Amino acid sequence: MNNFFFGIYPYIALSVMIFGSIARYERDPFTWKSSSSQLLRRKQLVLGSILFHVGVLTILVGHVAGLLTPVWIIDALGIGHAFKQVVAMTVGGIAGVMALIGGGMLFHRRWTDPRIRKTSSVADIGILGLLLLQLLLGVSTIFASARHLDGHEMLKFMHWAQGILTFRPDAAAQIADVALIFKLHIVCGLTIFLLFPFTRLVHMLSVPVRYFWRPGYQIVRSRRTTPLPSHSDAEIARAKVASAKAAPAGPRAPSLAE
């Protein structure tokens, strides 16, 4: 089971996430959205959304940098493994609590408001609940990590993640003896990757980079001090008739006699 969940399942989840997202964007581009419910109820949305998104983005950046940075680079920079783990626990713990509070507010809002719940799909509520479970598991790993402050356990996860990306057959063995809470956290995260293309999470990939090179717009305030003169309906009608007569005549349509 260890080899399946940590040696095979990661490739299944990542493959479905990548190719499923491409297929959805090509086949149903109009479903590629976050489906905001702000118009139905603004209360709890702003604060909850800010806490949730800032927390989750901080955790994602931390996980990517912490797991995928080669060990030799960390050693070359003179960063101790124990120090790196304490920083990860501190920053990750704060971001995790922020995301939990914000996600809890969003889940309560979506679950208890009749109008929002009516417009929410099973996937909307389910993926938010799964994200909250993942955050709870992640915060819980801090207590297990506190028993290994030398950074040795953290190295196991780095070797596992980098082994998965480099297709090493022994990657699953790197974390065979870690605590169960870490394994549950990894499996839940991989399941979120698996479900990613079928939920609103796809909006995370819609980074508006095109705004950097699109032509800009300039709004110019009029310096006119007096309002434009008003015109009656008759004057407007006469102007339209005169404009139509002045327009060049196009090709004449053939008559029935022709």
Least confident of 17-21, 27-31, 108-112, 228-232: 228-232
Task: For residues 79-90, give the mean pLDDT.
Answer: 92
Going by pLDDT thresholds of 50, 70 and 90, the confidence category of residue 209 is low
Class of residue 219 by CB neighbours under 10 A (exposed 0-12, middle 13-18, buried 19+): exposed
Higher pLDDT, 223 or 23: 23
pLDDT for 258 equals 44
SS3 labels along 45-67: HHHHHHHHHHHHHHHHHHHHHHH
Task: For residues 210-226, give the mean pLDDT.
Answer: 66
Whole-model pTM?
A: 0.76
Query: What SS3 class is residue 205?
Result: helix
Counting Cα atoms < 13 Å in the Cβ hemisphere of 102 gives: 21
Chain mean pLDDT for the chain: 85
Is the per-residue pLDDT at 16 higher than 70? yes
Q: Helix, strand, coil proportions of the chain in percent (round to 5)?
A: 70, 0, 30
Domain boundaries, given as residue ranges, for the chain: 44-190
Tokens of 71: 């060990």
For the chain, percent of residues with pLDDT exceeding 90: 52
May I ask the CATH architecture of the domain 44-190? Answer: Up-down Bundle (1.20)
pLDDT for 249 equals 55
For the chain, percent of residues with pLDDT exceeding 70: 84
Task: In whole angstroms, give the CA distance from residue 244 to residue 238.
Answer: 10
Task: In whole angstroms, give the CA distance from residue 56 to residue 103.
Answer: 10
pLDDT for 215 equals 65
pLDDT digits (tens, 9 = 90+) for 140-187: 999 999 988 888 889 999 999 999 999 999 999 999 999 999 999 999
Task: In whole angstroms, give the CA distance from residue 88 to residue 149.
Answer: 11
Q: Which residues contact 171 (CB under 8 A, 6 or more apart)?
A: 6, 7, 159, 160, 163, 164
pLDDT for 236 equals 78
pLDDT for 36 equals 62
pLDDT digits (tens, 9 = 90+) for 29-42: 877 776 665 544 56
Class of residue 102 by CB neighbours under 10 A (exposed 0-12, middle 13-18, buried 19+): buried
Q: What element of type H or E holds 133?
A: helix 122-145
Task: For residues 204-232, give the mean pLDDT.
Answer: 68
Is the per-residue pLDDT at 78 higher than 70? yes
pLDDT for 255 equals 45
Q: What is the CA radius of gyration of the chain?
A: 28
pLDDT for 19 equals 96
Task: For residues 5-31, give the mean pLDDT.
Answer: 92
